Structure 1
Amino acid sequence: MAKFAGAFRVGAAHTERIIVSVLSRIELYHVAVPLPTPFRPAWIPGLPQTHNRFDLLRLVTDDGVEGWSAGPAMGGERRGLGDLLGPYLLGLDPTDIETVQQRLREMSYLGLRNAWIEPAFWDIKAKLAGLPLYRLLGGEDQPIRLYASTGQLRGPAARVEEVARRADEGFRSVKLRVHADSLEEDIAQVEAVTKAFGDRIRIGVDANQGWRVTAVAKAPLWDRVRARRFADACADLGVAWLEEPLAMDDYDGLAELTAAAKLPITGGELHTAGWPELRMMIHRRCYDVFQPDAMFTGGVAQTLQVIEECRAHGLRYTPHTWTNGIGFAVNLHLMAVGGDPDGFLEYPLDPPSWTPRFRDAILTEPFNHDRGTLSLPTGPGLGFTIDRSALRRWGRRTSVITAGRLALRTLRDKGPRVAAELARTRRHTAGPRSTP
């Protein structure tokens, strides 16, 4: 099995577990970083995105170790999440990932799937070990090759100019976006780029059909016939891969297309059911290359399971990373652990609005590429530092949860008798704390 299998299970539930640290404080922030010009994502037609928005999580142990994570946000849709996190997470051993996964599963019974929370615990776990996360999981320190991932729609001439700029910057792989009403328009864009660069740049294409959004404007809907015709055209043009050409739950169609296509079919970025669904899709060979984003698809632990299963079935893994700087960091570490050795990592880049400066705005050091490659972080944990001044400028703290605050809220909401009963139950469940 994979070399990191043991690392995932280290510290799983034992009858005599030594706990040296517990989670004592949870903070949530809503961050809105203004973009220099509106960004119009191909995956949400008609939406001019004016800010890079995300919810930021800060975990603090009783001995002061911090863990960070961030989930993409449209607005204040997670307002009130702190009321749920406190009872489920406070007091946990932050290195006990198995229990963290179970608590997040329990929260999902209410319809709230928040996989993006889990990487903050891995941040703490790796910091306590004094290692970058990828090293904790058995990965090696070597440069990661990147593909420049475009985000907006452009016509053939404009796309050729864009790819020329990426080539000048050192990228040797680029992903295009197609989302036109007609098949012919989509093929024309790909044909223009492959004719100009196909002999020196590895070109992928994302159809963004996996999770079609029509809330703002109409979006093209591909059926299996169109997906097959486009896949055949891409193969004839020398395209390296085709991403999400059908709805992500069209399992039969994806398996059929993947078996028949003359180029690799990829996808899997937004399967929020996580490991159970992705395992089924691996067994059905719905994709040649699986691209789960840990911030959506079950967190780090479940992504490690996906990587193992892909290896066992002769399939490849390379993650989706288009969220924010912290989400990029999490998936960067996972790429270093189990990524396709012949593959490239997605590097979101669509100037002037979507660049490392704005994607990674609250980090002291953005993840800037060097001629299409990126060195792995060397610091412990996820390997970044939060820029506190940037956080004060663009972030608003929405929740603070501690044991004392939680006790007061429980007393207010449930009354002294029930609050005392809950406190006794929690103390009994936690048991005595031991040290080495």
Structure 2
Amino acid sequence: MSRWENYRASRTSWGINVLGSFCVEVEGSDGTVGFATGFGGPPACWLVHQHFERFLIGADPRDTNHLFEQMYRGSMFYGRKGLPVAVISVIDLAIWDLLGKIRGEPVYKMIGGATRERLDFYCTGPEPTAAKAMGFWGAKVPLPYCPEEGHKGLQKNVEFLKKHRESVGPDFPLMVDCYMSLNVPYTIQIAAACKDLNINWWEECLSPDDTDGFAQIKQAHPQLKFTTGEHEYSRYGFRKLIEGRNLDIIQPDVMWLGGMTELLKVAAMAAAYDIPVVPHASGPYSYHFVVSQTNCPFQEYLANSPDGKSVLPVFGDLFLDEPIPVKGYLDVSQLDKPGFGLTLNPAARLIPAQYLLTPNPERPLGQPAVEQKKSADQGIVNGVVEEIKNLSTS
């Protein structure tokens, strides 16, 4: 979107935040509650209630693969990518949180256990010097100008990156986020123009759909690292990105991809090709995943302070106890709480979604009643998923 002057200053200017956030509670028949948050706002709440809820009420929460497949395949005619899969992601994360609380285990213990004692972070934000001062091992900055601005724009991009390289010194790792704004010729050109700046990796130069394009830029610059993945939404798309071996890191987002259930499948594919997985943002949901995987060397911290010069919780004041990196790392012991270990802040600004979900009685939406399973053999989880609640954040 940087090609348009009036939308260049910030991503919120073109509406990246227009949907808002939403939260899902999944309650077991024993009263245990799993909770997760993600993006989607009121439309996401509507999808949970009008569509996905039918697959969950009365289900065994241990059947994560089964539940995911039903939600994914049941929404393929309008989904597969974007908002519907992001909604499935939040439901899936809430189910994993529920399972961890029932079992009294952190999620990372249920998906492989710890592979290290501390988790190291790089920082994405506007000020690499601040990231370095806060102890992060590296910093990532957004590329401000696009191919449509021609040679002058290219020169401005090079000067922008040169300024940041000079500010942090020659050895501090510096990454560039292109947010799918480039094309193949421009990527090849700017990578060559910045060869002396020691860029650690070039991120999302192209759309994740352009697998041929990634092959071309890797062929042109085999010694450089290229990454993508935050805007890919399924294992099927990642299969195309992985099998070509043209990417040096993949960056799925657990809050967009389909949740922990789908992320584990993508990570297994990447491991077979020895391609590292470094999730995009998503705070503690990503932390639990990364510490459990041998091919996930570190994690991104997305600067959440107004000026990008301090470390604040990724989810703001939504939780009372969100773990955050200190001096660029996080002790894994801080994740040793049931589920994702997050306690909802009672003072958080949540809006009940009932007003979105109750149709006008004069014009009913005709949602079929959902029959609950009634089974006495639900094993260790003490029953079935009993209730789904969704909330929209202001």
Does TM-score exceed 0.5, indicating one fold?
yes
> For the structure 1 residues 65 and 45, does the alpha-carbon distance in structure 2 shift closer, same or farther, using more than 3 Å as the test?
closer
Question: Hey, what does 2:264 align to over in structure 1?
Answer: 304
Conserved 8 A contact 1:187-1:233? yes
Q: What is the total number of aligned residue pairs between the two structures?
A: 350
Q: Structure 2: which amino acid aligns with 1:269? A: E
Question: Hey, what does 1:167 align to over in structure 2?
Answer: 132
Summarize deviations over 1:350-391 as a string: whole Å, max 9, x none. Answer: 53266525733111023322101122311011111111222x
Question: Hey, what does 1:369 align to over in structure 2?
Answer: 325
Q: Distance in 2 between matches of 1:123 and 1:109?
A: 29
Find 1:109's aligned residue among 77, 98, 121.
77
Gaps of 5+ in 1: 1-39, 153-161, 210-220, 322-326
Q: Distance in 1 between matches of 2:300 and 2:241?
A: 22
Does residue 197 (structure 1) correspond to residue 163 (structure 2)? The answer is: no
Q: How does 1:17-416 map to 2 (within 5 A)?
A: 44=11, 46-47=13-14, 53-73=20-40, 76-81=42-47, 82-105=49-72, 106-111=74-79, 112-113=84-85, 114=87, 115-140=89-114, 142-150=117-125, 162-180=127-145, 181=149, 182-209=153-180, 221-261=181-221, 262-272=223-233, 274-321=234-281, 327-338=282-293, 340=295, 343-352=297-306, 356-357=312-313, 359-376=315-332, 377-390=335-348, 394-399=349-354
Higher relative contact order (CA 8 A, sep 6+): 2
Conserved 8 A contact 2:22-2:45? no
Q: Classify the secondary structure of the residue corresponding to 1:434.
A: coil
> For the structure 1 residues 205 and 358, does the alpha-carbon distance in structure 2 shift closer, same or farther, using more than 3 Å as the test?
closer
Gaps of 5+ in 2: 1-6, 380-394
Q: State the percentage of identical aligned residues.
A: 22
Q: Distance in 2 between matches of 1:290 and 1:42?
A: 27
1:339 is displaced (CA, Å) by 5.8
Q: Classify the secondary structure of the residue corresponding to 2:353.
A: strand
Question: Hey, what does 2:384 align to over in structure 1?
Answer: none
C-alpha root-mean-square deviation of aligned residues, in Å? 3.1
Q: Distance in 2 between matches of 1:347 and 1:238?
A: 21
Q: Classify the secondary structure of the residue corresponding to 2:301.
A: strand
1:43 is displaced (CA, Å) by 7.1
Q: Distance in 1 between matches of 2:313 and 2:261?
A: 29
> For the structure 1 residues 108 and 117, does the alpha-carbon distance in structure 2 shift closer, same or farther, using more than 3 Å as the test?
farther
Q: Distance in 2 between matches of 1:293 and 1:319?
A: 5
Q: Distance in 1 between matches of 2:304 and 2:320?
A: 21
Conserved 8 A contact 1:95-1:124? no
So what's the TM-score if we normalise by structure 2?
A: 0.79
Q: Distance in 2 between matches of 1:239 and 1:413?
A: 54
